[in-house]
Chains A and B, each alone.
Chain A
């Protein structure tokens, strides 16, 4: 699908109204030529801007090199006449570099808005150069070219912000996965009794992980009883209750009995107010109660040790 950008709009206009323009070519190509011609000067000026100066601290040459890479990318995009398209092929080469720069600025404590402002500050130097370069051109032409350049710089900003956002997204996804792994340990309490202390809000993804790890543990440990401790779950709504009941049902199908423990008075009230039917689920107030119940079911007797019988079981 062809992009309908100002570059092509300008091109059409030119063909219609001023077909014999002396310079010829679309404004985008004019901008491309300008970028390629002045790439060194632009990069030098950018190197003085806070964005490049603070990211590339080792040497000025490094900053200039990085600036040149960005200018080249812009020239490529202008060449393909897709100045409004952040997905233009020309940007792929500098995405990583832009991401690195954005990340470095974020680490320095700048907000996204401030980074965007720094990116915006890259435009005036280039525009000044363009104006100086095209002084002898018709004002009409100059305006067209500077519009194209503005759009192009705007797109660069968009690309940089997009890249930064996708980095953040990737980080969030990674951390969510880590949270899933961290938050669901299965503890063996006794021969044939395992427990999962649930902490934090239970959503579908987490409860799925809890269910899988618990059932795997039931198989591994030959557990006849599994205790789901919800002391660390702040609220129980119908969805959480449904997840719990699914886990209990799955454990039962495997031949293990599930006990839900750690139901605080407030949660018990909530469950009753919501009208949730946990009738099929065995519940206990505390983990200790649940363990006592399981031991009793396993046929173990709990005997309070006599004062002089310490160490005996």
Chain B
């Protein structure tokens, strides 16, 4: 392996708490074990504290595969079960195109352009009956 490759993040991904929201920033490749660790960390933190939202910033992710797509969908689903909303923020155009070409349109996932927009989205009240569904749209 040359130094040029972006190496898997060693250890675990830090989960920051900002008020009622957890902020996770992914950088570079996400290793299998790191991803499982992150899923576990998130669910435990949400269960322990009264968190209403999770923001996953993936603006630092340049290469994506079906694995990352599945991890994101799983995190969204499990936080949903714990009554918190997940927003994926800052996806790069190339990553979005790749996911779509892979057939992973992730319909249940909330997305935002930036972390700021994601926090704004989480600040909005939950519309009853639509949690976990598609993005809110106008009547």
Mark A residues whose CB is within 8 Å of B.
211-212, 215-216, 218-219, 222-224, 246, 249-257, 280, 282, 293, 296-297
Known: A215-B96, A249-B105, A280-B107. 15 other contacts (CB 8 A): A212-B93, A218-B93, A246-B100, A252-B111, A252-B135, A253-B88, A253-B111, A254-B93, A254-B113, A255-B89, A255-B91, A255-B112, A256-B113, A293-B138, A297-B138
Can you identify 23 A-B contacts, CB atoms within 8 angstroms? A211-B97, A212-B93, A212-B97, A215-B96, A216-B93, A218-B93, A246-B100, A250-B93, A250-B99, A252-B135, A253-B95, A253-B96, A253-B105, A253-B106, A254-B93, A255-B89, A255-B90, A255-B91, A255-B113, A255-B117, A256-B113, A257-B135, A282-B137
Contact A253 B117 (CB under 8 A): no
Chain A interface main SS type: helix
Nearest CB on A from B1, distance (A): 30
Which of under 10, 10 to 19, 20 to 34, or 35 or more describes the interface residues of B?
20 to 34
Nearest CB on A from B17, distance (A): 22
Q: Which of B91, B107, B137 contacts A254 (CB 8 A)?
A: B91
B residues 120-139 with Cβ under 8 Å of A?
134-135, 137-138
Query: Does B114 have its Cβ within 8 Å of any Cβ on chain A?
Result: yes
Smallest CB gap from A293: residue in B:
B138
* Residues of chain A with a CB closer than 8 A to B137's CB: 257, 282
Whole-angstrom CA separation of A250 from B90 in the bound complex: 12
Whole-angstrom CA separation of A199 from B138 in the bound complex: 28
Whole-angstrom CA separation of A252 from B112 in the bound complex: 8
Whole-angstrom CA separation of A178 from B100 in the bound complex: 26
* Residues of chain B with a CB closer than 8 A to A250's CB: 93, 96-97, 99-100
Number of A-B residue pairs with CB-CB distance less than 8 Å in the complex they form: 65
Query: Does B92 have its Cβ within 8 Å of any Cβ on chain A?
Result: yes
Contact B111 A218 (CB under 8 A): no
Q: Which of A224, A293, A297 contacts B113 (CB 8 A)?
A: A224
Nearest CB on A from B35, distance (A): 18
- Contacts A212-B93, A215-B93 known; A249 to B117 CB distance under 8 Å? no
Contact A253 B113 (CB under 8 A): no
Smallest CB gap from A296: residue in B:
B138
The 7 A-B residue pairs with the shortest CB-CB distance in the complex, in nearest-first order: A215-B93, A255-B112, A255-B113, A250-B96, A255-B111, A249-B105, A253-B96
Whole-angstrom CA separation of A198 from B101 in the bound complex: 21
Smallest CB gap from B72: residue in A:
A253
Whole-angstrom CA separation of A223 from B112 in the bound complex: 10
Which of B88, B90, B105, B114 is most buried by chain A, counting CB atoms within 10 A of its CB?
A: B105
**Binary flags per residue of B68-110, CB closer than 8 Å to A gives 1, else 0:** 0000000000000000000011111101110111000111010
* Residues of chain A with a CB closer than 8 A to B93's CB: 212, 215-216, 218-219, 250, 254
Nearest CB on B from A113, distance (A): 45
* Residues of chain A with a CB closer than 8 A to B101's CB: 246
Whole-angstrom CA separation of A236 from B37 in the bound complex: 46
Whole-angstrom CA separation of A296 from B85 in the bound complex: 24
* Residues of chain A with a CB closer than 8 A to B114's CB: 222, 255
Nearest CB on A from B24, distance (A): 16
* Residues of chain A with a CB closer than 8 A to B118's CB: 255
Whole-angstrom CA separation of A297 from B139 in the bound complex: 10
